[in-house]
Amino acid sequence: MQGPFNRGSGRKPMAEINVVPFIDVMLVLLVIFMITAPMLTQGVQVELPQVTSEPIDSPDDSDPIIATVDREGRFYLSIGGDDQEPITLDEIAERVIILLDRSPGTQVLVRGHQDVGYGAVVSLMSTLQVAGVSNVGLISEPPTSDEG
């Protein structure tokens, strides 16, 4: 008797797993992650200290390049402590490129007023990164004794 419930047909059960749908899904996920990953990594690369900050010494005798943002959001660029007139971010980029071409090992430091907006400091650091500065130091002042 031949019927749908007859097990005497001589066919063995298939013990293999079909992995083609799994591979298709993995390839789709790979494409999605390849497209979205560059969008997630925006920002300015900054190496921050992981210990309490101590004064740093310049590796050579040259004066550092100091980029400053004042309370009103104006930008300044100085070498050796002589602040100049306010300049634009484009002028900062041009001058930093020239200065780093002359002496590539020069330190670049950022000094920002405590009341200036975060966006102004990030814009300055982004401009320095575009100008070829790989490491930026942040200048801060030690707390006074009454702040604890």
Q: What is the DSSP string of 96-147?
A: HHHHHHH-TT--EEEEE-TTS-HHHHHHHHHHHHHTT----EE---PPPTTT
Per-residue pLDDT reduced to its tens digit, 14-72: 778 888 889 999 999 999 988 888 776 554 343 333 445 556 665 556 778 888 888 88
For position 61, what pLDDT does the model report?
60
- Under 8 Å between Cβ of 93 and 111: no
- Under 8 Å between Cβ of 132 and 96: yes
- Under 8 Å between Cβ of 80 and 63: yes
Tell me what percent of the residues of the chain surpass a pLDDT of 70: 69
Whether the model clears a pTM of 0.75, i.e. scores above it, the answer is no
Tell the CATH topology of 65-138: Nucleotidyltransferase; domain 5 (3.30.420)
The mean pLDDT of the chain is 76
